[in-house]
Structure 1
Amino acid sequence: MSMHIISPGMLTTVQDLGRRGYMASGFQQGGAMDQFAARAANILLDNSESDGVLEMTLLGVKAYFDEDNVIAITGAEFAPTVTDFETGEVTELPMNRAVRVKKGDVLDCGSARSGLRGYLAVAGGFDIAPVMGSMSTNLKCKVGGFDGRKLKSGDVLPLRYPQSDLYGMTSRVFEHEKQKDGTVTVHVIPGPQDDYFSDKGKNIFYSETYSVTGDSDRMGIKLDGTPVESVDGVDIISDGIVAGSVQIPSSGKPIIMMADRQTTGGYAKIATVITSDLPLLAQLRPGGSLRFEKVDLQYAVKRIKQDNKLLKKLQYKILRADTSISGS
């Protein structure tokens, strides 16, 4: 059972929730940039939340399956269609729900109308051997995913056979609040080196509206705006970097470290983005704008609990519906 890639899109890689437990050895964690969306796509299809998905950047894949399957696309607002293999009829597919794709039908995920990264999951999941416990593609090290690289035309991705009834999945919908247009508010916890910056610098950081630059990527989101003033330079003895660390280099312009960040860094970190806001950052296009808002640890924990509750609610809704069907 396989997925045949006709056109790979701009940058499509296999990702999951990342390679955890290896940062102490100097290996990047990686994983999906928008992990909330990736988890939701898998839940819709009875996959493990940590199963591999295709992360599609701006332009999605065009592909066909050699057997009937069910897919789900979450994250950025793409415009997927499916072309019937026998009739040539083109049908628009909805986002954020499980949809059937018949053998030979051509799935075209189209381009993102809003947001930046979409996530395509298939029922049963991708049959790809993990490297250090993860399917995630590390492009710089050329490991994980499909031959350690982005997808290209002609690739054939092996799939696992679904353990659930395909036809019973297609009524499943993930309903959640969409990201609004305009300036995004990103919540951060101060530190760990906020004392390296003057009061003026901190005021700039929390009042400025920053724009995302064109050289942002999976490693980091680079921002343009008024430079943040330090007390006496920003160099530190290199220490660990987590997802969401906001480094201030010598230019004074913040860089938010993301999934493919290095494990350590030598610039002072003025703040750390809360985990629940990382998906917002993953969907910001170059030219998008954001501002930072200071919060405490209790707020960050509350938000994580809310995210997990929303996904648990989806799982419960699916379980209840499946139980109702099997009992009817």
Structure 2
Amino acid sequence: MSALTLDSLNKSYGDLRALRDLSMEVPAGEIVGFVGSNGAGKSTAMRIVLGVLEADSGQVRWGGAPVDLAVRRRIGYMPEERGLYPRMKVSDQLVYLARLHGLDTASARAAMEQWTEALGIADRRGDEILKLSLGNQQRVQLAAALVHSPEILVLDEPFSGLDPVAVDVMSGVLRAQADAGVPVLFSSHQLELVESLCDRVGIIKSGAMVKFGRIEELRRTDDRRWVVDGPPPQSWVSAVPSAHVVSTDGRRSVVEVRGASADTVDQDLLRSAMAAGPVHEFSLLRPSLTELYRHVVTTDSVATARETVSA
């Protein structure tokens, strides 16, 4: 099965470097989330995949070969800005777009019916786009990206403006596409959604990929924290070298161990806590994607500021 690969992409607009040696891979059958602040380079990277923009250097590959026009015709793309004809009916629009992708009329109509049903907008087929809510317009946009049975999905902020029910519907559709072997790349500012839905995540800042990998890989840190519901930490934490209390309410505590010993100290912590009294909970506390993102971006910003001051 093929993977979509972005290899060392660079793009500048005059003195502004929009992408800096950006690399990532979207394996077949996986959903990859692309997160970063506005202007970080997410849309630029996606437009290069689509051929709307040309990279200054680097390459986009599909199955190891450079992406060409034939491959791009097999990509389902959903732009952040709505690209629908506002006075065209939903059914007519989707059939028209499917026909542009080479489907005959009967197949185009069948695809329109399939995706409007799957996305919960079958009863809106006869409505003009401008008469739909923003959430339903977003569902039509996803249907437009899917109507030609694409081999690759590239979606720019597909969940923007959706209510929780619509988010669940679209999440289910994307997971079904990935399960069928389609590589799915989407950008989003909704980090909790990215964390729950994606197999891998890329964090981009100022055009550079600062973190990329599976969620569990990204959440691993050199320092480990445990939640302990048991005796007051003052009675047992000091017995474990390099452990210290981050927070406590007297019973439920967060204890951190820093450095290399963090991987092997968990049993020492548990034994020490149990020696001081009954323990009702002992669990590893990993940072959420939101916390990781905040840490990565803040650390990078602080480092940049220091370099600027030093210069």
TM over 0.5: no
With structure 2 as the length reference, what TM-score do the two structures score?
A: 0.24
Which has the larger share of helix? Answer: 2
- Largest Rg, 1 or 2: 2
